[in-house]
Structure 1
Amino acid sequence: MKRAYNFNAGPSALPFEVLEKAQKEFTNFQESGMSIMEFSHRSKEYDAVHEKAITDLRELLHIPNDYHVLFLQGGASLQFSMVPLNFLSPSRTADYVLTGVWSEKAQDEAEKIGKTTTIASSQHQNYTFIPNMTDIKPSHDSAYVHLTSNNTIYGTEWKHYPTLDVPLIADMSSDILSKEIDINQFSMIYAGAQKNLGPAGVTVVIIKDELLKNSTENIPTMLNYKIHAKKNSLYNTPPTFSIYMLSLMLEWVKNQGGIPAIEARNNEKAALIYNCMDESNGFYTGHAQKDSRSNMNIVFKLPTEELTNKFIAKSKELGFIGLSGHRSVGGCRASTYNAVPYESCEALVTFMKAFMSEN
């Protein structure tokens, strides 16, 4: 079967090996005569999947014992509300670093709950760069600092993270597992699964005990991190199939050589496309400043809108999927998440060079 060159921003490409294994087990999980979707979330069969996913994530990200790993629902967008509901008291301020639409949305939701402030932003330059870490100074009454590690729409990504005296919370939906990070720099990380972790439907939350102990008590049960931590993400029926797929994805990352090997390959894939852009004499121009370029989302423009439309139309004819840029930026976007093969990036560069030559 011929596979598409899938550069969708999310839901995104999944490894073919993972899809094949899921297909093989879909109707008969471990010779049980049942699909994993049919098991009770209280069964020993599902419990083994659940615990393996937690164990593998801890191993891959080197998550210390004083952090909880939660599997929640509602996507990263629900976390925009859960974070301030749990951690923003009336006497404190929530600090936000704005680097794109999703960080804006996170702050907008927090403003409905309490006081917020923007402590750094690249909005004035249409989010073409990541703010300098020396500019990130928490408020005197800061409850936490929130940032978005990778910006899918604008193609920017944090290369380093600030070391702060207040809790640092990061939305890592689009670059988690793509590179090595120091978990100890963060009090909380959350990520929707549909980029590097699996299909849509589950959100991973990694949260430090110290932060959890200081969370608000009088909030709805389903929005309370303490409840989910106490119940091991089994307070209600979890998205069992999405967690099963997450477990397969984590197993795949381990089989690739872990995050160091994944990071090296991601660097190679991104460099291939960025080099093509940089050597095009301005035919392809990136949105992000070079020191802020994302390895996950490569955003670029062509000289005219007419050429852009022609490029996208031709790419679809050749089997490329998802190269249209987001409406707020325009142009083109190639999302090169973990599961996008190097060969797909090679094929894209070959097409880009041929298109430039012809036009």
Structure 2
Amino acid sequence: MASSCFPDGAAAACSGERYNFAAGPAMLPSAVLAQIREELPDWQASGLSVLEQPFTGSPFKGLMHQAEQGLRELLGIPPNYRVLFMHGGATCQFGLLPLNLLAPGQSADYLESGYWATKAIAEARRHAPLNIVASGAGHGFRATPPLEQWRLDPQAGYCHITSNETANGLQLQHFPELSVPLVADMSSDFLTRPLPIERFGLIYASAQKNLGVAGLCLLIVRDDLLKAPRAGLPSPFSYALQAEQQSRLCTPPTFALYCAALMLRWTGQQGGLKAMARASLHKSRLLYQHIDASDLYHCRQRPADRSAINACFHLHDERLLPVFLREAELAGLLNLQGHAAVGGVRASLYNAMPLAGVEHLLAFMGDFERRHG
């Protein structure tokens, strides 16, 4: 690990390093930012910015095809699954899932694993009856309910899970094989590890974590779940109609799609999802080991359920939190404030976060504890 760069008790950065630990929109790789900067005024020598490209033109259709193929190769997506590039973020899908996947009056199963699962449940309940298979609320969402405690309904239209709870620092380590379609919100840990795609009926993820910038939600949906839209559902929100039109039923979020294509290429160049998983585990283990050995910091989450992507922790003396955050920012460690519903500190370790960023954070944390512990 690099030596401490906070001499004389000061928390000022010594090398100009700056690392963005925001939960989202998240940092982008420097190589991707450089390519965006270079191509933005004139994309593919067309004389037009990528912001001005018609989505019905051959160049942009080619870009969408490349993005889909890149995703299929990274995840090994079978041919009986469709890839959709939808507007908005994952929150839009909270209500669109029951409207697209359930018959009128049909119920769905939901695992209440944290802040975002609770939000998904509240929205889905506006459109369909739900069964909560298990909940971690009684323990403050400090652990994920194990599969043996789930009370599943074999007649449910689907079972919804949140693979990674960004606010609570929890992550599902394994995905069950169920008799009903498994639906997963994977916004925060999408593309951070290989996935058994065949176990899922539908996966959805906002782009602004590991796939680029805000405004795009990516869906992977099995063919048999593409049903005729309910009466009253606007056509652009129909999975079936968007699949028929190759995500071009209306103007897609073109710039976000362009950024996603760059991110998919970059992910492949780094070694793909096995390499991303190794890096995530290494970065998070370094951080959790430091926290567990500390007298100042502590992690409330059960170790087996801790997220490799969003590491959440607290200071034993919460009065020090504003000082910690202020000095961290001066040290070039940005956006470490925990979610408003949880508090504390949150370090988001998405694919673009280099190991050097975690090492810089650990050096700062060690120096801060020496001065305040």
Say whether the fold is shared (TM-score over 0.5).
yes
Partner of 1:256: 270
Deviation, 1:30, is 1.2
| Residue-pair matches, total | 358
Relative distance call for 1:233 and 1:3 in structure 2 (3 A) is farther
Question: Following the alignment from structure 2 to structure 1, what is the Cα–Cα distance between the partners of residues 230 and 200?
Answer: 19
Answer with 88-97 or 180-189: which moved more: 88-97
Deviation, 1:353, is 0.7
The TM-score, its normalising length taken from structure 2, stands at 0.93
Say if 2:16 and 2:332, in contact at 8 Å, map to a contact too.
Answer: no
The one-letter amino acid of 2:328's match is: S
Partner of 2:4: none
1:276 aligns to what SS in structure 2? helix
The one-letter amino acid of 2:313's match is: F
The TM-score, its normalising length taken from structure 1, stands at 0.97
Q: Does residue 14 of the first structure (1) align with residue 31 of the second (2)?
A: no
Partner of 1:162: 176
Q: Does residue 295 of the first structure (1) align with residue 311 of the second (2)?
A: no
Deviation, 1:214, is 7.4
Q: Which residue, 21, 40, 61 being the options, matches 1:47?
A: 61
Q: Which string of whole-angstrom CA distances, capped at 9 and with x for unpartnered residues, describes residues 254-312 of structure 1?
A: 0001111111111111111111001113x211131101000110100111221111111
Partner of 2:102: 88
Question: Following the alignment from structure 1 to structure 2, what is the Cα–Cα distance between the partners of residues 173 and 140?
Answer: 27
Partner of 2:192: 178
Q: Which residue, 28, 33, 42 being the options, matches 1:28?
A: 42
1:99-248 aligned within 5 A:
99-213=113-227, 216=230, 219-248=233-262
Relative distance call for 1:266 and 1:344 in structure 2 (3 A) is same
Partner of 1:67: 81
Say if 1:89 and 1:114, in contact at 8 Å, map to a contact too.
Answer: no
**Which runs of 5 or more residues in structure 2 are unaligned?**
1-14
Say if 2:171 and 2:307, in contact at 8 Å, map to a contact too.
Answer: yes
Partner of 1:358: 371
Q: Which string of whole-angstrom CA distances, capped at 9 and with x for unpartnered residues, describes residues 207-260 of structure 1?
A: 001122476466321221100000000000001110000000000000001111
Relative distance call for 1:118 and 1:170 in structure 2 (3 A) is same
Question: Following the alignment from structure 1 to structure 2, what is the Cα–Cα distance between the partners of residues 243 and 287?
Answer: 37
Partner of 1:322: 335
Q: Which residue, 344, 347, 350 being the options, matches 1:334?
A: 347
Answer with 10-19 or 305-314: which moved more: 305-314
The one-letter amino acid of 1:155's match is: G
1:297-316 aligned within 5 A:
297-316=310-329
**Which runs of 5 or more residues in structure 1 are unaligned?**
none
**Percent of pairs with identical residues:** 39
